[in-house]
Structure 1
């Protein structure tokens, strides 16, 4: 169990790393990728030639007997929400780091990117239920609080339930926001909840996976335990059929996530635990700027 001293040391390390990445790599790219995506109502004025008729305020027009148009302005402030999967499967990792470690680093980078651009950022930690909610705020102290929570929160032997997290997110966020979902997306029951959330918000999924999530090593008979259910059993990893079925399940989960995000009009990134997530985020930010 990490001590408070260990956590504070890790917080400082993450702050330094995140700030360097934010200032050197993401500052302009983050800003232009997400700023200006939302519009907020400002006022009404008399209709003028060339105004979009879709924005005519019929109630005001009827009251004054002449057409009035709604005027909108670009939202100067963005609200970023991080939906972080802390279920038991997030603790898995066989190469450089666990999925939780990678999710924590990405969340820290996104947090400081938002804070440095004057945006608010909040977090929903979830397993098969909401583990913790941190309302969106600004400021360095708030960012450091988020990082401390990222490092310490856990859900021992808890399953994954993105459906619950998305419904909670939709209920508490009435105004348009940008949400990053950091998860391995091993559950396959969130299509409706994602469609509803994506109709109002800008949703980006980040699927974090480990090489052994896809390929079971050939090591003979192994006694394994499901991290989320606690169920144990023997598996013959020397069997080609067993390894094939294991891989097939991974591809089924990945296909469901890709299809579901595409249908909802949302983006989905794929980050392997031994890959450079910085390059993947950079490429994504740049692609958003071209839209």
Structure 2
């Protein structure tokens, strides 16, 4: 995807509503929710029912009357965009690959975060962490993110979904809303790793697929190649058994992804390469 094509897709965002904040405020809007956030605001006298752990012992000792600390929720959000650059995402339909669609999604999230004056970062993985662009905000960071997205060149790699989750659980990142995009066509036995991430962060799954790849064409014997392993084999696409197993693979992956999401309280959506990315993102983040 080139810069001109990408920016033509971003122009529509000026006419679209912003993502809703999971903290009930966005950007430079001040929170009205007291007592549950992370940013210190003030102290006041202790009232019955206040959390004992919020007592300010220094002020209490000074006035000889119990006082508690009052907090307000952080007014700025942090968005982390996680993309899967493994070789299976290079499959394209009408010139638009799953990787191209992920770039489009990432650009839209970054653009929205910039306009809301929020922090955003970028993480790209395959079977290892390929690239990390730390959190920042503003116009320059947005263009730096776009530059990374458009100049990054995926190699021939496999998908290991546990890799980014292990990284996310170990890194001391601020509490974030994480948009995790992948085709999810690999091992999904990663619930333990996911649980450690959702304990601290808000996580959304975006399953990016190509409609053509989910339907095996009936064209007789053809030679097919596994994008990630490079292994080639001959397949009889007219065989009912072959067609059943092919369809069954995608169905099982979807069922496993849904179960993984339900088990961990994660909202997810499927996005095909020919669909409107912004409308789906907006529905996902409501």
Do both share a fold (TM > 0.5)? yes
Counterpart for residue 60 of structure 1 = 57
Which of 15, 31, 41 does residue 7 from structure 2 map onto? 15
Query: Which structure dedicates a bigger proportion of its chain to helix?
Result: 1
How is 1:63-142 mapped onto 2 (pairs within 5 angstroms)? 64=61, 67-95=66-94, 97-142=96-141
- Pairwise CA distance, 1:284: 2.5
Does 2:267 correspond to 1:267?
yes
**CA distance in structure 1 between the partners assigned to 2:157 and 2:146 by the alignment:** 21
CA contact (8 A) 1:120 1:138 kept: yes
* Residues paired across the two proteins, number: 274
Specify the SS of the correspondent of 1:56: helix
How is 1:35-50 mapped onto 2 (pairs within 5 angstroms)? 35-36=24-25, 39-43=37-41, 45-49=43-47
- Pairwise CA distance, 1:228: 0.7
1:46-87, Cα deviation, whole Å (9 max, x unpaired): 44335543x633683897375443422121111111111000
Does 2:203 correspond to 1:196?
no
CA contact (8 A) 1:35 1:76 kept: no
Counterpart for residue 179 of structure 1 = 178
Counterpart for residue 231 of structure 2 = 231
How is 1:137-216 mapped onto 2 (pairs within 5 angstroms)? 137-187=136-186, 188-216=188-216
Change (3 A) 1:66 1:57: farther
Counterpart for residue 24 of structure 1 = 15
Unaligned runs of 5+ in 2: 27-35
Q: Which moved more, 1:110-119 or 1:67-76?
A: 67-76
- Pairwise CA distance, 1:44: 6.2
Q: Considering only aligned residues, what root-mean-square deviation do their CA atoms show, in Å?
A: 2.4
1:184-224, Cα deviation, whole Å (9 max, x unpaired): 01121321111110110011110001113321111111111
Does 2:241 correspond to 1:218?
no
- Pairwise CA distance, 1:111: 0.5
Change (3 A) 1:149 1:129: same
Could you tell me the TM-score, scaled by structure 1's length?
0.85
Counterpart for residue 4 of structure 1 = none
**CA distance in structure 1 between the partners assigned to 2:253 and 2:65 by the alignment:** 56
Could you tell me the TM-score, scaled by structure 2's length?
0.87
Unaligned runs of 5+ in 1: 1-6
